[in-house]
Amino acid sequence: MRFDLHSHTNCSDGELSPEELVLRAENKAIDVLAITDHDTVSAITPAKAAIKKHKLNLTLIEGVEISTSWHGFEIHIVGLNIDSNNSLLQQRLTQQIATRNLRAEKIAGKLAAIGFENCFDEVKKIAQGQSISRVHFAKYLLRAGHVSHIQQAFDKYLARRAKAYVAPMWISIEEAINWIHQAGGEAVLAHPTRYDMTNKWVKKLIEEFKLAGGDAIEAALPRQNKNELIQLVNYANQAQLKVSQGSDFHRVSPYTELGKTLDLPETCEPVWRNWTHLEQVSATINME
């Protein structure tokens, strides 16, 4: 079975609609897809409806990617198998979106102070009423000709230590884990090697995540070399954490694709091993 347990739609900073995303997953022979938008679950209902409408042979895992603050870093915690209708979770995510909007206003203020006035209205238009991300600011800066590519917008203005960066005001890792557990899900530390921190800090992050009650870490990531995968599997085993895999798909590009090069070795405990709702799917697949 092919799993991709980390993906985005245009309900956050992805480009495909929920319907387009599930159709692409089917097209790329994914069996189990988690939609994990930043701080929102609003793609889940339309994605389910699209799976039904097109009679897709795809199991959808209800997910979310929650932003947290940890020692000045912005750490992402993925929740898998949450109940997206859980009202307490929904209330809490509404609060995260409020934090996101407040941060967006501050970023816009910093950009205005360095000469990019009135950018906020344009950014909101790009976000199309959905939760505002730094990616929407990056797109604005690109479209307005202030940078020549998205990465440059992050490097010059939006990334940590860049000119319009706003220090994180997110909840703690422990709170995010509790929110996910309360909604019936499992908490996964997203892309542990992609936070621009030394190995020593990555290890400390994984250890503290475990102490805070975390369940798994993402080990198989996109654009990854074999050593990184082996190292992350070792860290997971040492901390007695399960492992997950996900493309972190945001858009169609030559570099990223659903399910692309995601393979965990045998020497680890996949997060999905005890997911009973998959038994029916695997039985169907074996019969084919």
* Residues near ligand AMP (CB under 6 A): 13, 38, 67, 74, 133-135, 150-151, 154, 159, 250
Calpha distance 247→159 (Å, rounded): 21
Q: CB 226 → ligand AMP: shortest distance, Å?
A: 23
- Residue 41's binding partner among Mn ion, ligand AMP, none (Cβ under 5 to 8 angstroms by kind) is none
**Which is nearer to ligand AMP, 135 or 264 (by Cβ)?**
135
Closest CB to Mn ion among 114 and 162? Answer: 162
- Closest approach of Cβ 137 to Mn ion, in Å? 12
Q: Which does 215 bind (CB under 5 to 8 A by kind): Mn ion, ligand AMP, none?
A: none
State in angstroms the smallest separation of the CB of 288 from Mn ion. 31
Which partner from the list ligand AMP, Mn ion, none does 151 bind, CB cut-off 5 to 8 Å by kind?
Answer: ligand AMP
Residues near Mn ion, by CB under 5 A: 13, 65, 76, 190, 248
Residue whose C-beta lies closest to Mn ion: 76
Of Mn ion, ligand AMP, none, which one sits near residue 171, judging by CB under 5 to 8 A according to partner kind?
none
Contact 84, 44 (CB under 8 A): yes
Q: How far is the CB of 188 from Mn ion (least distance, A)?
A: 11
Q: Which residue lies nearer to ligand AMP by CB, 32 or 127?
A: 127
